[in-house]
Amino acid sequence: MIRRLFNACLCRPEDLRPSREDLKVIGVFNPGAALVGDEVVLLVRVAEQPREQRPGRLGLPRWEQDGLVVDWVDEAAWRPLDARVVQHRESGLVRLNFVSHLRVLRCGSGREVTGDTGVRFEPQGESETFGVEDPRITRIDDRWWFTYVAVSPHGPATALASTRDFRSFTRHGIIFPVENKDVVLFPERIGGEFKAIHRPMCATPFTPPEMWLAGSPDLHHWGRHQPMLGSVSSWDAGRVGAGTPPLRVEDGWLEIYHGSARPVAGGVGVYSAAALLLHPEEPHRILRRSAEPILLPEAPFEREGFVPNVVFPTGLIDRGETLLIYYGAADTACGVVEFEKKQILAAVE
């Protein structure tokens, strides 16, 4: 691992007011990050559950046209799969026990949260019934574009939105259908087209977990899909996917990605982060990769929470000599870590 120059927990559930008085915030995590002028702005995922508890019932929240509603279901008819998911015993279908929206926070120099702007990006439409999650922000031309996970009874899909000011947003719809997550956009065209890394979630285990690359003429229509990176060791045997949007460096593209160990019963496996160096003109080609994770859950706020032992990188700010990497910690809090850039580049073989 690389020495942390700076590390802090930026925001916890108790730091934010819930969107409604009958809800409680259980997680503020997986932040997208953008440098707006001289200020860092975070677009964070806020997970909420009903405050009310009813004996023998489970309160499962969802969004519909008029706002958030709670389905109170027979607790005995459902079994927990992990801290986040319950499964209907008869049908085998699953539900989340929370619902998420996105919120804009001000982060000043990037090392502490300085305020909640009150701006929210809330679920809309059938494809976002169970919430919006895990934004990744990329500046392309004159605006910021962000991918996010749209969760519904159809499964998790990836949608696209954009903004010029982080006060209002334009939705561009689903760009990768179910089941596909962890989509990050490259900040410039490569070979005349936009590029994205994505993570197909294969239900049939023909292969270990993989990341893929895709191309697009317009950010809306995606094709030229090809596998890019698969799991290679025990630390990423459970899942592997993009983390922060790629950063252009001298020798290619630097990608900070995540992996998780195979889960044990009732858990999701330890989540860690590693680094890749991608070819500048053919980013499906991996030039070098770190031999081991560069970031593991070590701090108490990374090891303890709603889902323990998780560091999940989602945002990056280039400070020249150093990089600020923003991440979700234990599916509960937002963290930031500062690394020396040359040390990350030296870690890739």
Could you read off the pLDDT of 231-269 as tens digits, one per residue?
888 899 889 999 999 999 999 999 999 999 987 766 788
Interatomic CA distance for residues 46 and 25, integer angstroms: 7
Q: Report pLDDT digits (tens) over 85-112.
A: 999 999 999 999 999 999 999 999 999 9
Average of pLDDT values for 45-52? 97
* Mean pLDDT, the chain, whole residue set: 95
- For CA atoms 284, 288, 291, 297, the dihedral sign is negative
Res 178 pLDDT > 70: yes
> Confidence band (pLDDT; 50, 70, 90) for 58?
very high
Res 66 pLDDT > 90: no
Peptide bond into 126 cis (omega under 30): no
Interatomic CA distance for residues 193 and 152, integer angstroms: 30
Q: What phi, psi does 120 have (nearest 5°)?
A: -125, 145
pLDDT at 265: 65
Average of pLDDT values for 323-346? 97
pTM of the model: 0.96
pLDDT at 55: 96
pLDDT at 202: 77
Average of pLDDT values for 313-325? 97
Residues 6+ apart with CB under 8 A from 205: none
Interatomic CA distance for residues 49 and 26, integer angstroms: 7
Domains detected in the chain: 6-347 (2.115.10.20)
pLDDT at 266: 63
Average of pLDDT values for 15-42? 97
pLDDT at 26: 97
